Structure 1
């Protein structure tokens, strides 16, 4: 097999902790060598991350070259009394990564001779680095859009939206291929940039199902060790994109009808990000006896917690209808039923339905959510069908095929 190299530009990479987005680059880097593509990683120095963990570093082969140029987080490193100039945070808080990233990328290109450059969003500076390196080296560039960039109503801040749009236009004007993670996102961008439609591809997110070890038995779950039903949301909760307000209102409705609800039900928000904000929301809803806001766990411990929950909660608002949380695929391989709170017109609802993960309700309808939870309390949900093929072995094969086509002309 012919060996080729790919330079992968990614902010989310070990030892970063706190986002399931880290898995996409990590799993591609681990699996692509089986298809003849050896990764060279261009990420950031660990001090750029708010949270770090060495737990996943061992998942990467020791011989993978990793470049970690410095980058400052405008919020943490450039703020004065909690405030910082907005210019330092557009298109993202790690704008300073661009120049050191380009310099490190050129050094990596000179030393390792990659045949393709790949960069991944939602940190837009990664695409700025990828675009600059592609222009300087004349290598084909693949822009990976894990989320849409400047779409209708998002980002809400007008200046940030304009900054995103500028990067987005450069992506669709110069990238040799653009990869999205949902068909809806691909169609959206094909309509917006018709000249680039033939360069847009779909490679969904996935999960590495063999990572955590032997699975918990796939059985109906009638509660935790204390007899309570445990509903778990594992991962970041966003005020706009994953607003938990209606869910908390639904729990409050159930609690009003059953003051002893806390003896039957426990809802855990594990590693939601801004814990103080969510605790305030929980207190305002008056559901502290039922809802727990919990700190992060190591990756494999978090997976194990998912496998032992009665059911899992997935939140996605209608302003994110073009995307699917990477968490969905971790949930799918947990063997536990999933309560999807989303929008029927969105990709998340459709994917949860396609994989038969469990019942769905609109994220903004407390009455429907309350009925969904009451149904779980009255009768345990069956385990969903076993998921096959939604893993990074298959996704890496698709990416390698695309890379082969892009690199082939340079070898002629």
Structure 2
């Protein structure tokens, strides 16, 4: 077995919806290609929420080193305040110190052929850069989405620090991995001197084993038994106020309700683990939708998949300012085999994934009138069972096992 050092903030037992899955499943499926991972992550105290429900999925062959790390906002603040330099590039910069020495020990013990680090925690790429420079081991940087934009991060100082880390990462890594074609196009324009072979596309995906377990679980049976006698739609995961603003969706629902085109005794919409419940609840109340739209707390991953399998339809929110991004949940939605209504820019990468799958229930997130029309058609299609679903062949191309094949090819190409 060849060894790879994988640097990832999100790893069991952190409780998040999708960020944890990419690294966890790569460690599993890379074993099929002769690569064994040693994972460098953070001590669980750095996580705001923990759950043990996926700890048993970490392969026995995989070594996990949980290095010293603190969350500046929770552990190093005084009355909720802290100096800016204590959170640059992010609130987990303390991981850089503990992670560097822990990483050197893992490298000395296991002699990895490649280092791999994954964003969205910028400190992970900073660690990858430092360990690469200290040891000379080739480095793959998994960006997923873009690390910087013209106006992201919002704080100018943090944006300059992010851009410095991004520039060092692009210039020194052997491969830069992104999840969407749009992100790669953007980075090719930003760094025109980088050779094409350095850019690699590995989309997010779903894990078949997790879905099989969810379908067999008691949670799935419980969800089916408790499902009301009405159409149930679900959005599972964070709803960012600027990137996934549902206000026009709420306005459209309010008008449809006003003219009796939708009714509370026929429709229930669940927004699961939004991360912004207080803000969304105010919007729901103002639109008089509290008998149709319900905010629900986060649940264990397998239960979340069981819920996707049990409902009648699934919702995607994605604004045009994220056209080069694709929500990770979309691949799980495809595998769930349920009708999907996507409120997103028809020319963005999110819509592109659905169009390639033969699905066309797509409308701009900020177009209230078009949302009203497509929503009525979508509900009618569910009732008539006429909404098109993705083919089995299309679904299989979006599995995490398939993504691990691409990563294994990248690893092998580097060491060869």
8 Å contact 2:176–2:200 — kept in the other structure?
A: yes
How far off is 1:228 after superposition? 1.5
How far off is 1:203 after superposition? 1.2
Partner Cα separation in structure 2 for residue 146 and residue 375 of structure 1: 34
Partner Cα separation in structure 2 for residue 177 and residue 118 of structure 1: 9
- Residue equivalent to 1:220: none
| Partner of residue 324 from structure 2, selected from 291, 297, 322 | 322
| Partner of residue 409 from structure 2, selected from 401, 406, 410 | 401
| Partner of residue 186 from structure 1, selected from 184, 188, 191 | 184
**Is 1:66 aligned with 2:77?**
no
- Residue equivalent to 1:209: 208
How far off is 1:39 after superposition? 0.3
Partner Cα separation in structure 2 for residue 145 and residue 383 of structure 1: 30
How far off is 1:147 after superposition? 1.1
How far off is 1:358 after superposition? 4.8
8 Å contact 1:337–1:358 — kept in the other structure?
A: no
How far off is 1:134 after superposition? 0.2
Partner Cα separation in structure 2 for residue 14 and residue 303 of structure 1: 17
- Residue equivalent to 1:303: 305
State how 1:255-270 maps to structure 2 within 5 Å: 255-258=257-260, 261-270=263-272
Partner Cα separation in structure 1 for residue 214 and residue 80 of structure 2: 44
- Residue equivalent to 2:164: 166
Q: SS of the residue aligned with 1:126?
A: helix
8 Å contact 1:216–1:308 — kept in the other structure?
A: no
8 Å contact 1:18–1:271 — kept in the other structure?
A: no
Taking structure 1 as reference, are residues 156 and 285 closer, same or farther at Cα in structure 2, changes over 3 Å only?
farther
Q: SS of the residue aligned with 2:133?
A: helix
What is the aligned length?
Answer: 401
Could you tell me which runs of 5 or more consecutive residues in structure 1 were left unpaired when the two chains were aligned: 218-223
8 Å contact 1:318–1:343 — kept in the other structure?
A: yes
- Residue equivalent to 1:242: 244
8 Å contact 2:3–2:110 — kept in the other structure?
A: yes
- Residue equivalent to 1:221: none
Partner Cα separation in structure 1 for residue 398 and residue 262 of structure 2: 40
Partner Cα separation in structure 2 for residue 356 and residue 377 of structure 1: 19
Taking structure 1 as reference, are residues 371 and 85 closer, same or farther at Cα in structure 2, changes over 3 Å only?
farther
- Residue equivalent to 1:339: 341
| Partner of residue 92 from structure 1, selected from 86, 90, 93 | 90
- Residue equivalent to 1:277: 279
Taking structure 1 as reference, are residues 73 and 364 closer, same or farther at Cα in structure 2, changes over 3 Å only?
same
Partner Cα separation in structure 1 for residue 28 and residue 77 of structure 2: 37
Of stretches 377-386 and 138-147 in structure 1, the one that deviates more from structure 2 is: 377-386
8 Å contact 1:357–1:385 — kept in the other structure?
A: no
Q: Give the TM-score taking structure 2 as reference length.
A: 0.92
How far off is 1:214 after superposition? 6.5
State how 1:19-30 maps to structure 2 within 5 Å: 19-30=17-28
- Residue equivalent to 1:385: 391
Q: Give the TM-score taking structure 1 as reference length.
A: 0.93
Could you tell me which runs of 5 or more consecutive residues in structure 2 were left unpaired when the two chains were aligned: 217-225
Partner Cα separation in structure 2 for residue 360 and residue 22 of structure 1: 28
Q: SS of the residue aligned with 1:268?
A: strand
CA deviation vs aligned residue, 1:12-31 (integer Å, no higher than 9, x gap): 11111123011110110010
